[in-house]
Amino acid sequence: MSEGIGLFAIFFAAIFTDNILLTNYLGMCSFLAVSREVKTSLGLGLAVIFVMASTSVLNWLVYYYILVPLDLTYLRFIVFIIVIASFVQIVEMIIERISDVLYAALGIFLPLITVNCAILGVTLFMVIRDYTLKAAFAYGLGSGLGWALAILAMAGIREKMARSRVPRGLEGAGITLIIAGIMALAFMGFSGMINLN
């Protein structure tokens, strides 16, 4: 029972209080580049949720069943990145085969994800915090949802803002960062509820 609550706490914290994008600043590059439209953000968000949840479990297995017994933990950066890159590649091939619709919706975003630092970041956090397999899954899924939530909210705001006049020097990245800052402030409101670490 208490384990269930612990898992839920991790899941909840990963979405709100410890949002991977707004409090850990991960995945900013694609966040700034792709958050212009709600539709594309949704596609990328879904792809990130799926890849994050799967790679955190995969990397957990690789880390505790291969690297730790062989005493190769110092190689973890390389191994994690290879696991993530090959996983993304395989998923892309499978999706291309089985569903055109899905490929059109998600496929184009998958290559972008390999270089999304949030994916590697989730794996590294999970190793540093000594999560169990279930906790790693909860954390990966929660972080993915949190990231998707942040980019969707941002895309919604940016679509509304497209017609407003922004000082020229602030156009593009500048104003997006300011909005992100305000969003981070809003998310800090959750922070009394649950704490990770």
Partner 1 sequence: MARGRVKRLFIDDLGANNPVFAQVLGICSTLAVTNVVKNTVVMCAGLVFVVTLSNFTVSSLRKWIPSRTRMMIEVLIIASYVIAFDIVIRAYLPDISRQLGPYVGLIITNCIIMGRAEAFALSNPPTVSLMDGIASGLGYSYVLLSIAFVRELLGSGTIWGARVLGDWWVNWSIMVMAPGAFFTLAILIWIVKGWLLKREQGRSE
CA–CA distance, 5 with 10 (Å, rounded to integer) = 9
CA–CA distance, 196 with 33 (Å, rounded to integer) = 29
75 binds partner 1 (CB under 8 A): yes
Q: Select the residue interacting with partner 1 from 116, 136, 137, 141 (CB under 8 A).
A: 116
193 binds partner 1 (CB under 8 A): no
- CA 70 from chain centre, in angstroms, equals 29
125 binds partner 1 (CB under 8 A): yes
167 binds partner 1 (CB under 8 A): yes
Q: Select the residue interacting with partner 1 from 9, 12, 16, 27 (CB under 8 A).
A: 27
Per-residue burial over 141-170, b if 16 or more Cβ lie within 10 Å, else e, is bbbbbbbbbbbbbbbebbeeeeeeeeeeee
For residue 75 the two structure tokens come to 């190689």
117 binds partner 1 (CB under 8 A): yes
To 10 degrees, what angle do helices 173-188 and 133-161 make?
130
- CA 119 from chain centre, in angstroms, equals 6
| Measured CA distances, 55 to 35, 52, 64 (Å) | 23, 5, 14
23 binds partner 1 (CB under 8 A): yes
32 binds partner 1 (CB under 8 A): yes
Q: Select the residue interacting with partner 1 from 185, 189, 193, 195 (CB under 8 A).
A: 185
Q: Select the residue interacting with partner 1 from 6, 28, 108, 158 (CB under 8 A).
A: 28
Compute how many other C-beta atoms are within 10 angstroms of the C-beta atom of residue 93: 12
Q: How many residues bind partner 1 (CB under 8 A)?
A: 41
Choices 1-9, 62-70, 78-86, 97-105 (CB under 8 A): range interacting with partner 1: 78-86
121 binds partner 1 (CB under 8 A): yes
124 binds partner 1 (CB under 8 A): yes
Q: Which is nearer to partner 1, 105 or 156 (CB)?
A: 156
